[in-house]
Amino acid sequence: MIAKLDNIVKRYGNHLALDCVDIQISEGEILGLLGPNGAGKTTLIHGMIGLISVDSGEITIFGKDLKKHALEIKRQIGLVTQEVTIFEELSAWDNLAFFGGIYGIRGDELKKNIEETLEIVGLTEYKNKLPAKFSGGMKRRLNIACALVHKPKFLVMDEPTVGIDAQSRNYILETVRRLNGEGTTVLYTTHYIEEVEAISSRVAILDQGRVIAQGTKKELIQKIQYEERITLQLVESGEEVIEEIQKLSGVKEAYQQGREVRIISEVGAGNIENILTISKKHGGVQNINTEQPTLEDVFLTLTGKQLRDGEVE
Ligand SMILES: Nc1ncnc2c1ncn2[C@@H]1O[C@H](COP(=O)(O)OP(=O)(O)OP(=O)(O)O)[C@@H](O)[C@H]1O
């Protein structure tokens, strides 16, 4: 286990920013922490790595109590901050030398780490350039590099793609995947559902300071999947088929829409096979489709709100 948070509570005055949060992160995974603006993601991250104190609860990182082993733990963590925290007046190389130096890395080891890190984020050819001239995406990549130069085994990323173009975003996601493939455990916070879908091995959904669900994408979907939506295209007219389908146990609705028959059925009722059997009796099926819920549906079902680009509707 890389990180284990038990019952974490954090208040800012009267505002309950973290409300009894339990989170586990296993070695080798990418945990996607998904939540809208103000959900408490940054507070959770900063509490987890000891940048702010929490009011109560237990935080164990690398199997050790954070309070007792803070320095030793922090040495092995990389934090990619939400705000870009690079020095614009220092070259990319000097930025990395500065951050590597903070972790006590010197000499040949520092040089080797800087070279490898520049390569990982695709900035080798810009190593002597000042970030003031960089695009937003390049600054974000250098910001990530600063958190990687000491080779942390646990990388914590706080919304690392905010405000950048799609190409840079993809590059960053690809970099996270690659680092994870090489053994780095990652906590990736975002309010973009598609990012979580793209890279996470597990997802935790945070809303108003509470973890409302945690698991693999499949597990989260199973939590909300009480019904399945089936769409049929029949060879012949659908009236008799619909009448028979409506009589099947577990079918909630069956109706014609345009050239399609739409069916809503309870999960586990085994109705796909029954529907195919009925359709075959009446001329056969051209096409059958079942719709799977998405993480967006999970968020909507669990919070009653839609999450789009960080805005809650
Ligand atoms: N230092 C602070 N003092 C008072 N309130 C704070 C402080 N930091 C955060 N908050 C409040 O706590 C809540 C959680 O904030 P936090 O920044 O952790 O959320 P977030 O999910 O990271 O949001 P965002 O995506 O906007 O960064 C918000 O309501 C915020 O206004």
pLDDT given for residue 267 in this prediction: 78
CA–centroid distance, 40 to ligand 1, in Å, is 6
Average pLDDT score over residue span 255-261: 88
39 Cβ inside 6 Å of ligand 1 = yes
Return the pLDDT at 21. Answer: 96
CA 58, CA 73: separation in Å to the nearest integer? 15
- Asked which of 134-143, 193-202, 210-219, 224-233 is least confident by mean pLDDT, the reply is 224-233
Q: Compute the mean pLDDT over every residue in the chain, rounded to the nearest whole number.
A: 91
Region 157-161 average pLDDT:
93
Question: What's the confidence (pLDDT) of residue 269?
Answer: 77
What is the predicted pLDDT for the residue at 270?
Answer: 81
What is the position in ligand 1's atom list of the atom closest to the CA of 44? 18
Q: Which domains does the chain have, with CATH numbers?
A: 3-222 (3.40.50.300), 227-292 (3.30.70.920)
> Is pLDDT larger for residue 32 or for residue 305?
32
If you average pLDDT over residues 95-111, what whole number do you get? 95
Question: How many whole angstroms separate alpha carbon 47 and alpha carbon 305?
Answer: 27
What pLDDT is recorded for position 167? 87
pLDDT of residue 308: 63
Task: Give the per-residue pLDDT at 46.
Answer: 95
Q: Is the CB of 37 under 6 A from ligand 1?
A: yes
Instruction: Note the pLDDT tens digit of each residue in 128-140.
Output: 999 998 999 999 9
Ligand 1 pocket, residue 41 CB under 6 Å: yes
ipTM of the complex: 0.96
Tell me the mean pLDDT in the region 149-160: 95
Atom of ligand 1 at shortest distance to CA of 310? 25
Pocket of ligand 1, candidates 23, 33, 41: which has the most ligand atoms within 8 Å of its Cβ, to mutate?
41
Q: How confident is the model at residue 310 (pLDDT cuts 50, 70, 90)?
A: low
Strands 64-65 and 56-61: antiparallel
Q: How far apart are CA 38 and CA 201, in angstroms?
A: 24
Question: How many angstroms separate the alpha carbon of residue 210 from the centre of ligand 1?
Answer: 13
pLDDT digits (tens, 9 = 90+) for 10-45: 999 999 999 999 999 999 999 999 988 889 999 999
Amino acid at position 167, single letter: Q
What's the pTM value of the predicted model, to 2 decimals? 0.83
- Residue 61 confidence (pLDDT): 97
> Which residue's CA is the closest to the ligand 1 atom numbered 24?
37
